[in-house]
Structure 1
Amino acid sequence: MSANLAQTRPQRQGGFTLLEMLVVLVIIGLLAGLVGPRLFSKVDQSKITTASTQVKLLRGAIENVRLDVGRYPTAEEGLALLSKPPADPALASRWRGPYLEDAVPLDPWNNPYQYSLPGQEGHGFALYSLGADGQRGGDGDAKDLGVLPAQ
């Protein structure tokens, strides 16, 4: 008879109740609210660090061009001179590039690095990123980074 009772009684399937699911979602939401802003501030800081490192790399390549060619790239040549020889045959014969393994990188905010002559505080050139906002000036992650142009 006990075998017949087991067959007629519905078996309960395992799982979570709606209330248990809601409690878990609330806990996950609270954790995301506390941890999320801290993680995003680290992302912004890492972009600033990346831009500063890339500017240093590009500055070194520009200095190598100056040593080989005898002058900095003109404003018209810009950073393209790191990848392509100058149009002047006399200068092209001294060009020992390309000076970068890959193409000139974009800054971490996907904007091109700015190059102009002369730079601030006696630097021969200006090489900088416009920061997160892509415009001159700014504070925080929107601040211009690198060797800024003469004012």
Structure 2
Amino acid sequence: MKHIKNHPQTGFTLLELLVVLGIIAMLAGIVGPQVMKHMGESKTKAARVQIEDLAATLDMYKLDLGTYPTTEEGLKALIESPDSAKRWNGPYLRKSKIPLDPWQQEYHYVSPGEHGKFDLFTLGGDAKEGGEGEDQDILGWQ
């Protein structure tokens, strides 16, 4: 008969696990706000890029028809021919849906605009005029 040696069990004690969880929680508390700050900045940058892309697409629309879509026709004129458009050569967007801003709101389009041939903008994360950080308005004419 073989003699079985008692091996001490290895593993973590409850105290060691609590210390590790405490360290992870502390790191999350330090790193989390920085990550969220950069996420807000990236949404703002994404909105600026989308506005520039939509503005370029509106310019292509104008090349074909001679005018920008009216406020009533809106950005929908980029994917569906308005009744008044005789030389419409679209759709001008790859997708059959107008993109939403990074906060899942529709972009605002006014033509003729107060700041140019058209105004294209989003009101940011709070969907209200003004604001700072992620809530700032992203304006196509600035």
**TM-score, normalised with respect to structure 1:** 0.85
Match of 2:136 in 1: 143
In structure 1, C-alpha distance between the alignment counterparts of 2:139 and 2:93, rounded to whole Å = 18
1:119 aligns with 2:119: no
**Is 1:70–2:63 an aligned residue pair?**
no
Q: Mind listing any 5+ residue stretches in structure 1 that lack a counterpart?
A: none
**Structure 1 letter corresponding to 2:32:** G
- The residue number in structure 1 matching 2:125 is 132
Question: Which protein is bigger by CA-based radius of gyration?
Answer: 1
Q: Do 2:41 and 2:133's aligned partners in 1 also have CA atoms closer than 8 Å?
A: no
CA RMSD of aligned residues (A): 1.9
CA positional deviation for 1:104: 1.3
Q: CA deviation at 1:126?
A: 0.7
Is 1:29 aligned to residue 22 of structure 2? no
Residue of structure 2 in register with 1:96 after alignment: 89
Percent identity among equivalent residues? 44
Checking the alignment, whether the CA contact within 8 Å between 1:65 and 1:72 is kept in structure 2 is yes
How many correspondences in the alignment? 140
The 4+ residue runs of structure 1 with deviation greater than 4 A are: none
Query: 1:64 offset after TM fit, Å?
Result: 1.1
TM-fit CA distance, 1:135: 1.5
Q: Which amino acid in the other structure matches residue 80 of structure 1?
A: K
Aligned residue number for residue 105 of structure 1 = 99
Is the contact made by 1:119 and 1:147 (CA closer than 8 Å) also made in structure 2? no
Distance 1:125 1:58 in 2: 11
For residue 53 of structure 1, what is the aligned residue in structure 2? 49
Deviations 1:28-70 (A, max 9, x none): 0111111111111110000000000000000011111111111
Paired residue secondary structure (1:64): helix
SS in structure 2 at match of 1:128:
strand
Give the whole-Å Cα distance in 2 for the aligned partners of 1:101 and 1:47.
21
